[in-house]
């Protein structure tokens, strides 16, 4: 057995915790290290070059902490940076993208809606997904500016959040969508509120569990000799540690004490 590694996970902010929850369930004994890039959130309105540079910085930090596999728990960062991260780091890098394939398979009305950041929807990777599945069903996209910020503030139930959810889901439902893809890792934290707005009959598709399974496959095939870790989870932020601790603990469902990243990674 080689010495235990760690799984490094990052997102623009706290959204990736929705993926980390699935990773923790799948790997109860792994050492997990999570970075919220709260000092640079949201990614959705940044340029691909900016997000790529941040993704490299955070990955360098995680590798320095002993991570031997990286999960980009962010659709927007995957679109901007997964290819160049894979070119640079010779460890498994698991990305994620809106779950169009399962949504297409699940839809009965033949109309699927995608809720995501503008950055994800405008990316070449997402265009390739549409190209691949867009003939089978009608795929309608909806950028959701402001939603990530509501989750970052912990305002899951406010009137403003509800107004945004109504505004973003109404056009998709009006066009007959029976399946909505949560194409940003912040949105699963709003699943109950979205459900409240759209009613019981619309399917909601999330990618977190599939990402954890994919990570498991990659670790088994590429790091077969790996010893289990100590089951700890550590949290870092490039933003305010006190604010991050408060919101992360609320979403994680347990104390999640955030440390500030070392200066050179901010």
Which positions are annotated as active-site residues?
Answer: 74, 184
How crowded is residue 49: how many other Cβ atoms within 10 Å of its Cβ?
10
With both helix axes pointing from N to C terminus, report the angle between 48-64 and 75-88 in degrees, rounded to the nearest 10.
Answer: 60
Based on the shown chain and the rule CB under 6 A, indicate whether residue 20 belongs to the binding site for ligand DGL.
no
- Nearest to ligand DGL of 8, 15 (CB atom): 15
Based on the shown chain and the rule CB under 6 A, indicate whether residue 98 belongs to the binding site for ligand DGL.
no
Task: Quote the longest CA-to-CA distance of the chain.
Answer: 56
Rounded distance between C-alpha atoms, residue 218 and residue 72, angstroms: 14
Instruction: Select the span of 68-76, 123-131, 134-142, 255-263 touching ligand DGL (CB under 6 A).
Output: 68-76
Least distance (Å) between residue 136 CB and ligand DGL: 24
Instruction: Select the span of 5-13, 195-203, 230-238, 255-263 touching ligand DGL (CB under 6 A).
Output: 5-13
Based on the shown chain and the rule CB under 6 A, indicate whether residue 12 belongs to the binding site for ligand DGL.
yes
Based on the shown chain and the rule CB under 6 A, indicate whether residue 11 belongs to the binding site for ligand DGL.
yes
Among 55, 59, 107, 117, binds ligand DGL (CB under 6 A): 117
Rounded distance between C-alpha atoms, residue 82 and residue 75, angstroms: 10
Based on the shown chain and the rule CB under 6 A, indicate whether residue 207 belongs to the binding site for ligand DGL.
no
DSSP per-residue string spanning 228-249: P----EEEEESS-HHHHHHHHH
How crowded is residue 16: how many other Cβ atoms within 10 Å of its Cβ?
27
Least distance (Å) between residue 151 CB and ligand DGL: 9
- Nearest to ligand DGL of 8, 42 (CB atom): 42
Based on the shown chain and the rule CB under 6 A, indicate whether residue 184 belongs to the binding site for ligand DGL.
yes
Q: Which of 34, 211, 7, 19 is nearest to 91 (CA)?
A: 7
């Amino acid at each position: 057995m080689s010495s235990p590694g760690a799984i490094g996970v990052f997102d623009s902010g706290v959204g990736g915790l929705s993926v980390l929850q699935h990773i923790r369930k799948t790997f109860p004994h792994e050492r997990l290290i999570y970075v919220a890039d709260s000092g640079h959130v949201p990614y959705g309105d940044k340029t691909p070059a900016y997000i790529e540079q941040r993704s490299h910085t955070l990955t360098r930090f995680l590798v320095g902490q002993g991570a031997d596999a990286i999960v980009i728990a962010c659709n927007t960062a995957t679109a901007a940076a997964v290819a160049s991260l894979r070119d640079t780091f010779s460890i498994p890098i698991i990305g994620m993208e809106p779950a169009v394939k399962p949504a297409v398979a699940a839809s009965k009305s033949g109309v699927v809606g995608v809720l995501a950041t503008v950055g994800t929807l405008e990316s070449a990777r997402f265009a390739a997904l549409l190209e691949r599945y867009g003939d089978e069903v009608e795929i309608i996209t909806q950028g959701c500016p402001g939603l990530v910020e509501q989750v970052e503030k912990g305002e899951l139930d406010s009137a403003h959040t509800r107004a945004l959810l109504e505004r973003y889901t109404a056009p998709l439902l009006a066009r007959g969508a029976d399946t909505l893809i949560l194409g940003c890792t912040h949105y699963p934290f709003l699943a109950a509120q979205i459900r409240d707005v759209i009613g019981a009959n619309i399917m909601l598709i999330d990618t977190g569990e599939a990402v954890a399974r994919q990570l498991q496959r990659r670790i088994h095939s590429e790091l077969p000799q790996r010893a289990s870790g100590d089951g700890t989870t550590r949290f870092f932020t490039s933003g305010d540690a006190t604010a991050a601790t408060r919101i992360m603990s609320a979403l994680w469902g347990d104390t999640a004490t955030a440390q500030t990243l070392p200066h050179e990674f901010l």
